[in-house]
Amino acid sequence: MIDEATTHYNSIIDQHSLGAEFLHDTFGECARPKIGWQIDPFGHSREVASLFAQMGFDGYFFGRADYHDLIDRSVKRTREMVWQANPNLDVLDRQSWLFTGILPLYYLSPPSFCFDITCSDQPIMDDKNLHDYNVLEHVETFIGTALAQQKKKWSTKTDDFFPYASTPYVYWTGYYTSRPALKRYERYANNILQVTRQLNGFSQSNLRNSIFDLSEAMGLAQHHDAVSGTSKQHVANDYAQRLS
């Protein structure tokens, strides 16, 4: 999960391109992701939402939002919305719109969510030869729920989810400037990577594999505990060493 406050759009696109290429080469087109999970970054940017939408994502879910905003959205039942993330709507239109949801308990499922061995919900029985066959019952329940929600009008959002405050007077803004040397080093490494790619484009031989390690290290550096500067010192040292 990338950081959304201290990353550059160039590196965000590179990281996702590298990951998408791996998924395609390994599993095929069916592995192309459609939902973005950003459950831990410390605030969220409309620019990242716009990029995700333009990359082909249909949905985007995260866990952290300002506590005032969460209270208000919980009361108004607007924790799910359509994020109209790009002001250039006349150019991108709905390509920059992204269905967005704020998870109820950060990483955890709601208390009523039932999915493991302790689940008491009636299982789906699909053998028509057995007396407890109930597929049609479950299908009717699903369709009924969908029909009940079809007229729902989603709220919209056009700005950032910044700054992030988890509790009163606890604003997560220090990381905008923390570990400035690591932040500068990450930008410097990105400059080298982009120049190397340009030179490779003009060369007679494809040296793409020669810069793969740097591409991978740059992708890792976009993590929300990397370029953000929120990791412990020995971890920050490791990020820097990988870029060197």
Q: Which residue numbers are catalytic?
A: 40
What is the pairing mode between strands 59-62 and 35-38? parallel
| Helix (H), strand (E) at residue 137 | helix 135-149
Compute the C-alpha angle 9/10/16, nearest 5°: 85
For the chain, the farthest-separated pair of C-alpha atoms sits apart, in whole angstroms, at 70
Q: Cα 38 to chain center, whole Å?
A: 4
As a whole number of Å, the CA-based R_g of the chain is 22
Using a 10 angstrom Cβ sphere, with 0-12 exposed, 13-18 middle and 19 or more buried, the burial of residue 102 is buried
Amino acid at the residue 182: L
Measured in degrees and rounded to the nearest 5, phi and psi for residue 2 equal -75, 155
| Six-digit token string for 94 | 């709905």
